[in-house]
Amino acid sequence: MRRLIALLLTIALALPALAQDRPRAGLMWNRSGLPATLPLVVQTLPGRDYALFLSPDIGGDPVMAGYIHGGTFFRLLVPPGTWTIRFAHGTDWQGEDALFGPDTEWTQVAEPMTFGASVARKHGYIIRLIETEGKVRVASSGALDLCQGLTITTEVIELDDELRDDRNRLPTPGLRRLEIDVDTRTRVCG
């Protein structure tokens, strides 16, 4: 009986470890050396997970990777530049080297995508992946522009008389301090 209980406890303790092998959705790594500030949104179908890779459009190794749980909207901030975007997908994650094992399939966005920003606008993309005839493909990709507005509010605050210098005997108007509050708002450009 003790052996059976020990065996059941061993199995019960091993199950959470197996469930943790699937990475958390989000950024896996960023080796670009650039700040990731521009939006990339990906819509996927349930039933498989995805590893997203950004590579320079001129070729070379990926500079950024993210992990997507299938069936969810995924948002990743990427660095400015022109990137080739590829997706590895499958059902049984086996680590960054093996990805989804021998059953790993690949899908790529047809054209490189250019991410950029100006003073009041961030330019990113939305990608929608679908499955047709058992193959995952890019159904659509479109621009996602975010506009940023800046609001500045000021307030003049009268300071108490006790803060004045006693050596100044000339009549002076009340001392004031200007408080400035800056607020940025981001919205999808229309």
What per-residue confidence (pLDDT) applies to 20?
A: 43
With 80 as the cut, is the pLDDT of residue 2 above it?
A: no
The two three-digit tokens of residue 62, written as one number: 């990926």
pLDDT at 189: 82
DSSP character string of the chain = -HHHHHHHHHHHHHHHHHHTTSPPSEEEEE-SSS---EEEEEE--TTSEEEEEEEETT--S-SEEEEE-TTSEEEEEE-SEEEEEEEEEESS---TTTTTGGG-EEEE-SS-EEEEE-SSEEEEEEEEEEEETTEEEEEEEEEEEEEEEEEEEEEEEEPPGGGS-TT--S--PPPEEEEEEEEEEEEE--
| CA 158 vs CA 102, 129, 181: distances in Å | 72, 59, 17
pLDDT for res 174:
66
Spatial separation of the C-alpha atoms in residues 51 and 105, rounded to whole Å: 10
Domain extents in the chain: 24-147, 150-188
Q: Flag the least confident range among 16-25, 34-43, 52-61, 62-71.
A: 16-25
What pLDDT does 1 receive? Answer: 61
Q: Could you tell me what percent of the chain has a pLDDT over 90?
A: 49
Residue 57 CB coordination number (10 Å): 15
Give the CATH fold of the 24-147 domain. Answer: Immunoglobulin-like (2.60.40)
**Are 89 and 107 spatial neighbours (Cβ–Cβ below 8 Å)?**
yes
Rounded CA-CA distance 100/44 in Å is: 17
0.75 exceeded by pTM: no
CB 111 within 8 A of CB 140: no
For 97-106, what is each residue's pLDDT tens digit?
A: 999 999 999 9
State mean pLDDT over 2-31: 65
Specify the DSSP class assigned to residue 6.
H
Read off the pLDDT band of 18 (50, 70, 90).
Answer: very low
What pLDDT does 118 receive? Answer: 87
Rounded mean pLDDT of the chain? 83
Residue with the bigger pLDDT between 178 and 10: it is 178
Greater confidence (122 vs 17) lies with 122
State the pLDDT confidence band at 11, using cuts at 50, 70 and 90: low
Gap between the Cα atoms of 24 and 91, Å rounded:
15
